Amino acid sequence: MEIVIVTVPNPYGLHASPASLLSKLVMGFISEITVYKNEDLTRKYNAKNVLSVMDMNAIMGDKLTFEAQGEDEKEAILSIANFADSGFGE
């Protein structure tokens, strides 16, 4: 399992557009990718499902923990980290 923690930099959070771009990005990986918001491990979200990502209601400053498990987990986590650094496509 590979893990990365990122901070949401977007002033409007992960609304429909960045959530959709994130889901499209991670759908290209075989690994299972789960997201937790602000270290709350009781609520997990499926990063490959745009509605699940939007259900997080992630706002600017929230800490998102991405966990990837599978054969391409390292590549998935690196891509997610780079995508978050770029402002989730915005």
User: Rounded distance, CA 58 to CA 13, Å?
Assistant: 5
What CATH number does the domain containing 44 carry?
3.30.1340.10
The total of structural domains in the chain comes to 1
49-75 pLDDT per residue, tens: 999 999 999 999 999 999 999 999 999
Q: Is 29 a catalytic residue?
A: no
Q: Write down the pTM of the prediction.
A: 0.94
**Domain span holding position 67:** 2-86
Q: Looking at residue 60, what DSSP letter applies?
A: T
Cβ(48)–Cβ(72) below 8 Å: no
Active-site residue among 4, 6, 9, 15? 15
